[in-house]
Amino acid sequence: MVRLSGRSGARSLRRRSGPRPHRAPDRARGLRGGGIPDGGRPPKHGRRPRSPLSRISVAGQVFLFQVIIVMLLVVAAVVALVLQVRHDSTNEARNRSVAVAQAFANAPGTVETLSAPDPSAVFQPQAEAARVTTGVDFIVVMNTDGIRYSHPKPDRIGKQFVGTIEPALRGEVVTEEIVGTIGPLVQAVVPVKDSDGKVVGLVSAGITTATVGGTADQQLPLLLSAAAVALALATGGTALVSRRLLRQTHGLGPHEMTRMYEHHDAVLHAVREGVIIVGDEGRLLLANDEAHRLLDLPADAEGRQVADLGLTADTAELLASGRVATDEVHLIKERLLAVNQRPTNLRGGPSGSVATLRDSTELRALSGRAETARERLSMLYDAGVGIGTSLDVTRTAGELADLAVPRFADFVTVDLFGAVLNGGQADTVSPLHRTAFSGIREDAPLYPLGKEIAFVETSPQARALEAGRPVLEPRLAQAPGWQAQDLERSAQVVEYGIHSLIAVPLRAGALVLGVVSFWRSEKPQPFDAEELELAEELVARAAVSIDNARRYTREHSMAVTLQRSLLPRSLPEQNALEIAYRYLPAQAGVGGDWFDVLPLSGARVALVVGDVVGHGLHAAATMGRLRTAVHNFSALDLPPEELLALLDELVARIDQDEAAETASAPVTGATCLYAVYDPVSGRCTVARAGHPPPAVIHPDGSVEFPDVPAGPPLGLGGLPFETAELDLAEGSRLVLYTDGLVEDREHDIDEGLELLREALARAGGGSPEATCRAVLDARLPDRPGDDIALLVARTRALPADRVAEWEVPSDPAEVAKVRAEVTRRLADWDLEELGFTTELILSELVTNAIRYGGEPIRVRVMRDRTLICEVFDSSNTSPHLRYAAMTDEGGRGLFLVAQVAERWGTRYTSEGKVIWAEQPLP
């Protein structure tokens, strides 16, 4: 529906009509009673006579026009289809004739046949066969003079070709439409060229358009029949629509509908209230002149979406929603409008809504106060939602400052005691630190962020901290107590334009955390008492969040301290591996990841990486227990699979002991990887319990994830652990890590392993320290959700000239020979000083092996950080240290070994046992 501006617009759309032929008697009387003539009254002077079409009802006119339009569309569609079919037939004929002619011209043997004595004998059967196959009407081969060599009618062979051949003689393709003896057709002439590109003949192919377009002609009757059916359906549909229109217009004729519209239009635009009608889709259907004035609507507002008219958000939402509203006040520009709105479909009417607008500008002052109150409530609500989104003290203070600028103040500073930043309780006599600063500009001459401030007793901030209540300084230029803080800076602040201040202490119960200062410069009015109350409420809500962040910081620091104390503070000295490591705790809480480097007997080194599922103090404490257990088990020199089996039993016992404690989570789910590297053989033995596999960077830079059998996580029990033997070349880097490096919410472990492979490959042949940096630069997330432990070890080999080994027959007389060989080797190593003790140790160990062990017996001496003596035999019986009595003849050998050696022990292998002893180098 289109709004008509004024009476002239209404008259321009009026239509004259005669009396309605089928009007109900009561309706006719109603019209007469209303003063509207039913008929017979002579027309006014100067009125144009009515056209014959105006005597038909609106429904009849709609029916007639729609039938005519449908017929025209059907005819146009049929004509367009016929023309399109003809055009497509011609194109198809042209394309097919060109394709057939070119195929025949380029066929093998065509050029040779043209120079044969009788080309027709060859071309005629080939052309006929190709014509039948391709469906064209003729294929003619000719020489350059246009003499035919082939034709569907043999009597025309040898005669002149009818058509244009000059462009073809120049090497071009010719297509033309002609009317031949077989009807309208399209023929193509293509040249036949020899290997030098010279035209030696021509080939023409043609097809009639009737052949190509025959199917379309057969479809034309079906098309016309479908058009007739469509016309009948459209006519029937139009008739139904016309009947409905006749029913909806109540049989009114055009003339009567025009007069009724004039009366409605006059009333609509004469009232001094705005009237707006909106459809069910939020589209403006009608707005009278007063609505245009009150809402300042554009001239083309009708027909547009209400949301696109430039109205305020709340007014547009009300008009588009169609909800019921009674005297709802909306501020539009400089006017306060009272809006009443009702839906139009309450009694079966069309869907939509009608709204009336009344100017209530006299309520502006009341509305202003209400808007101020609403803004303050909104800011307090936003403070409850937007402050304290994290458990970080500095970030929470910044959220408070950002929220208040510029909605409440032009500049906001938050000053906290240093102990609060570290999670402790504040000492009110210590200086404060400027923790947060926010403002409409960045060049304000206030103390900068991070500044340590000691407020003087007369300053508003110090008075607020002392009294525990907010302090208002409405005019800073006239506040000597504030200026005494810093005379020079105070003068700069006043000159900058900052003229009013509110200082509010940050209190959480009885604990004072700091002070918040609100500064005003843009608004000329100073802060008042109502704004002082708002500032106090705003800071009180923020103080709770800052105190929560302080408490979390304290607990997190304690947990991190505990976790750090349970991890190795320094790596032990050893020569087998060059090691670098990284440990990064999670941002959300303390986890249970750990790592360790454990020197073993025989210059071997054990590498351990583990992970306890969960976070918090319980996970950290459990990690410490497991790490201690690994230390103790490794002292037994157990193979990796046996050590993990013992660790698995320990975790199961821990779970059983803590099952009754509801506050303690089970340890089940802990993982561990244990690897032992031998620098003599260059072999690394690895076993893992539910842990990610290790990575190996070979000396050439290639990266491999060895196939190490994945055992179950610790604590499940029931399944054995298996080992993998890795032969590592010297200079290889063994990479051990926890799942925090390869798993997160965005990637599964397979994708994480591939990303880790790429990061390790980019690390190149650098040192372990450089490898750690490269991996963390590529894989470390901004806020790690889990702990990350990374251990990189580059292998070293014990030189062959530092290892001596002998086979010893099972004969006591051979002990002297072993002592002599060892003495000579110690002389080569400049260790003659250790000759006597070494002979003593080997004499006892070799004699015991010969007496109580089994063959083969081997002796190995290694010079590493210590002098290591090892005796191997095939027996599994381990000697025990005895303390012989004064009357005993034996039992003192191992006691002497224990006295002269720094360490000694036994380790078992799959073939027997090794008894070893270590002596410090002089």
- 648-659 residue pLDDT tens: 988 888 777 766
Q: Say if residue 632's pLDDT is above 70.
A: yes
Q: Say if residue 892's pLDDT is above 70.
A: no
Which segment, 225-239, 347-361, 623-637, 859-873, is predicted with the most confidence on average?
859-873
- 808-821 residue pLDDT tens: 988 888 888 988 99
- 561-572 residue pLDDT tens: 776 777 777 788
More reliable by pLDDT, 448 or 113 = 448
Q: Say if residue 52's pLDDT is above 70.
A: no
Q: Say if residue 504's pLDDT is above 80.
A: yes
Residues 6+ apart with CB under 8 A from 543: 506, 507, 508, 513
Q: How far apart are CA 439 and CA 449, in angstroms?
A: 12
What is the percent of the chain where pLDDT is above 90? 26
Q: Is the peptide bond before 152 cis (omega within 30 degrees of 0)?
A: no
- Give the pLDDT of residue 348: 67
- 358-401 residue pLDDT tens: 877 665 555 556 666 677 778 878 887 888 888 888 999 999 99
- Give the pLDDT of residue 54: 58
- Give the pLDDT of residue 727: 94
489-509 mean pLDDT: 92
From the list 691, 701, 641, the residue with the least C-alpha distance to 671 is 691
- Give the pLDDT of residue 476: 92
- Give the pLDDT of residue 16: 35
- Give the pLDDT of residue 880: 64
More reliable by pLDDT, 156 or 794 = 794
916-921 mean pLDDT: 91
- Give the pLDDT of residue 691: 93
Q: Is there a contact between 579 and 792 (Cβ–Cβ < 8 Å)? A: yes
- 734-760 residue pLDDT tens: 999 998 888 877 777 888 899 899 999
- 65-97 residue pLDDT tens: 767 777 777 777 777 777 777 777 788 888 888
Residues 6+ apart with CB under 8 A from 770: 763
Which segment, 18-22, 180-184, 355-359, 672-676, is predicted with the most confidence on average?
672-676
- Give the pLDDT of residue 20: 38
Q: How far apart are CA 168 and CA 98, in angstroms?
A: 12
Q: Say if residue 606's pLDDT is above 90.
A: yes
223-235 mean pLDDT: 72
Q: Say if residue 318's pLDDT is above 60.
A: yes
- Give the pLDDT of residue 804: 92
- Give the pLDDT of residue 576: 92
119-131 mean pLDDT: 86
Among all chains, which residue has been given the structure tokens 């016929």? 82
More reliable by pLDDT, 785 or 219 = 785
φ, ψ of residue 66 in degrees (nearest 5): -70, -40
Q: How far apart are CA 820 and CA 837, in angstroms?
A: 13
839-848 mean pLDDT: 87
- Give the pLDDT of residue 686: 96
Q: Are strands 903-908 and 577-584 parallel, antiparallel or unpaired?
A: unpaired
Q: Which of 95-109, 644-658, 771-785, 872-886 has the lowest mean pLDDT?
A: 872-886
- Give the pLDDT of residue 217: 60
Q: Say if residue 268's pLDDT is above 50.
A: yes
* DSSP letter assigned to residue 780: -
Q: Which of 165-174, 184-193, 650-659 has the lowest mean pLDDT?
A: 650-659
- 828-837 residue pLDDT tens: 999 999 989 9
Q: Please give the order of strands across the beta sheet that includes 352-359.
A: 284-287, 274-279, 352-359, 335-343, 325-332
Helices (H) and strands (E) in the chain, counts: 24, 31
6-16 mean pLDDT: 36
Q: How far apart are CA 650 and CA 563, in angstroms?
A: 21
- Give the pLDDT of residue 267: 73
* DSSP letter assigned to residue 21: T
Q: How far apart are CA 323 and CA 316, in angstroms?
A: 12
Q: Which of 500-509, 644-653, 873-882 has the lowest mean pLDDT?
A: 873-882
Q: Say if residue 3's pLDDT is above 80.
A: no
Bridge partner list, 328 = 339
- Mean pLDDT (the chain, rounded): 81
602-620 mean pLDDT: 84
Q: Say if residue 181's pLDDT is above 80.
A: no
273-302 mean pLDDT: 86
- Give the pLDDT of residue 8: 36
Decide: pTM greater than 0.85. no
What is the percent of the chain where pLDDT is above 70? 83
- 142-155 residue pLDDT tens: 988 889 888 888 88
Q: How far apart are CA 479 and CA 498, in angstroms?
A: 13
φ, ψ of residue 781 in degrees (nearest 5): -75, 165
831-848 mean pLDDT: 88
More reliable by pLDDT, 890 or 358 = 358
Q: How far apart are CA 518 and CA 504, in angstroms?
A: 8
